[in-house]
Amino acid sequence: MERTHDCARPVGLFMLAATLVVGSAAAKADAVLDWNEIAVNTAIANGQNPFSQARTAAIVQLAVFEAVNAIRGDYQPYLGTIVAPHGASADAAAIEAAYHVLITYFPGSAATLNPALMNSLASIPDGDAKNKGVATGDAAAAAMITLRASDGSSPAQFKVPGPAVPGEYQATPSCPIINGVAVGAFFHWQNVTPFGILRASDYLLGPPPALTSNAYAKTYNEVMTVGSADSTERPQDRAEVVLFYELSTPTLVLNQAARQVAQQQQRTLAENARALALINMAISDSLVSAFFNKYHYNFWRPETAIRAGDTDGNPKTEADPNFLPFIVTPCFPSYPSNHGAGSNGGAEVMRRLYGEAGHSITVSNPGASTTVLHYTSFKQITDDISDARVYGGIHFRTDQDAGAVLGRAVRHSSL
């Protein structure tokens, strides 16, 4: 399925604190972009969940940025501890930094990572510059891995839901069973150390709408109508968007988009290193902040809410005890949407770096090979993601709106 968005409103580029110099090279991939694609694909191939994908991508891209920036010196560093020898190759540093992180986290992928490393380094002439670049990349990667060794991303923790009270999260049928009880997952992710913000608790949203409010009834009835497994009100294009974004994480989608736009705008190696670090920091930090809000408000999912609609005190919400969502409900509270937060956090950085619109972006996923999405703006991407969760029956529209607010707020603290 191809979906083309024609409406696009260009906006000016956001001027960063450090001056960005647009390169004059032909619009083609460079070492930073090549290894960004390898990194994302490696995390997916190893079965990482969306949150671990975001964390891994941020670590990889920060290692790449530190390595390149230690050589080029265009920006303020993230770590500030990497010193590159004079004459080191920035390309070799970028390649080695990404490879070092990936082979450390995914040693089982050596059969694909090692040939990729050899192929990439083969394009750089042998000698001191190459050797010095490799050493710089190794140093940056090792420093980032050490920094994140105890960042709270493990061990896994789970939330045992309380009594079945209207509005309170209850585990849904696909959720894990711990000691005979269905539990909420990723309870620990709210405590993962952020990359670009001080703490997730600084980003507490306002509460979800009251169960007795008109706002709640409106969002309840929308998801019940278009999000049920047997809905006749869900257009085919929205169904395809649901299924695409069920399989496509913020890390996959936004990095794919960023690589395309960076090539179209002929960005330099150093610009790409910085941009991808900022984008992936924002995605990861937005997801951490979303989990903080999820487990703070502990709001029920549509699957639970609609089956118990006669208990919420709202005369405008009719219960359907047989309601099933179009796709499987994730195993954690509803408010706000993770996909909404992570995608909007990354998209807001991209908007500031590249401009909102006037792009040519094609998003695809081998896992959803029949669907190819075409966009000209970042808002079109995040709008489709919002629809995907509502038409999928797993989120209220207010969850999506809150996720968007959260992601944009987190972005403002990561630039």
How many angstroms separate the CA atoms of 411 and 413, rounded?
5
Where does 167-412 sit in CATH, by number? 1.10.606.20
What predicted TM-score, i.e. pTM, was given to this entire model?
A: 0.92
179 to each of 174, 176, 277, how far by Cα in Å? 16, 10, 40
Collect all residues with Cβ–Cβ distance below 8 Å to 241 and sequence separation of at least 6: 3, 371, 373, 384, 387, 388, 391
CA atoms within 13 A of residue 46's CA, in its CB half-sphere: 22
Locate the domains of the chain by residue range: 31-147, 167-412
As a CATH number, domain 31-147 is 1.20.144.10
3-57 per-position pLDDT tens digit:
333 332 222 222 233 333 333 334 568 999 999 999 999 999 999 999 999 999 9
Residues of the chain scoring pLDDT < 50:
1-26
- pLDDT of 29 reads 84
Determine the pLDDT at residue 411.
Answer: 82
Place of tokens 């540093």: 93
**Residues 145 and 101: beta-carbon distance below 8 Å:** yes
